[in-house]
Amino acid sequence: MIEQSVSKRRRTRILAIAGAVVFGLAVVPFILYAAAFGWRSLTGDLGSESYLFAGRAPVAETGLSLHMLAGAAITLAVPLQILPPLRRRWPALHRWTGRGIVTLGLVAALGGLVFIGTRGTIGGPVMDAGFAIYGLLLGLAAIMAISRARAGEFAAHRRWALRLAVLILGSWLFRVHYVLWYAVTGGLWSNEGLTGPFDRVQVFAFYLPYLVLVEVYLRRATPRAAHVL
């Protein structure tokens, strides 16, 4: 019985590590794109390269640059941070990586909100609202994750950290949704201005359903499962 329990834990650990590696490889293209876009925005005018700008808009460009660069960094870090072996074997690395994720998460949220407030999204008021709510939730989750850890409330910290991880991956999921939708439907109910029926739903669907799933999981999780998180 003991050997079976140990074997099961070992298989779970191996699957978790393998899943993190596969996921990490899957997000690499997005990370490279976000980092390159953010750097170009920070160091030059993207007006000739992107529909996001028409002429110079320094405040909006800076906000978007910070959002993209910080987003690339935290998307890279999240798959490693959520692995239980990292927390158990290298707790100091886990803490410092977590602090970095929280800090950059706040930078990404603030940068996105600055861009929305000063420039607005291509999709207009509906997209502005969806992305602004996303940014506010990202900032809230980052603050709550670090504050619960500092207060020694580690169960609450892990819950907020999981919510933060899901929100961080939202930018990647936003693009995954579009790739899958266009592959299956050819772009039905979507247009270049991102104002079609699918686009209207998508500005909320890339994060809200996943947060709901997280909440369902957290409420059904046993104390042991919650601790593993």
74 by Cβ neighbours in 10 Å (0-12 / 13-18 / 19+) ranks as buried
Burial per residue of 111-124, b for 16 or more beta-carbon CB atoms within 10 angstroms, e otherwise: bbbbbbeebebebe
pLDDT digits (tens, 9 = 90+) for 141-180: 999 999 999 999 999 999 999 999 999 999 999 999 999 9
Instruction: Give the type of residue at 35.
Output: A
Q: How far apart are CA 54 and CA 59, in angstroms?
A: 13
Q: What is the pTM of this model?
A: 0.82
Confidence of residue 17 (pLDDT cuts 50, 70, 90): low
Question: How many domains does the structure of the chain reveal?
Answer: 1
Residue 43 reports pLDDT greater than 60: yes
Report residue 4 as tokens. 């079976």
Segments forming the whole domain that contains residue 86: 2-228
pLDDT digits (tens, 9 = 90+) for 167-215: 999 999 999 999 999 999 999 999 999 999 999 999 999 999 999 999 9
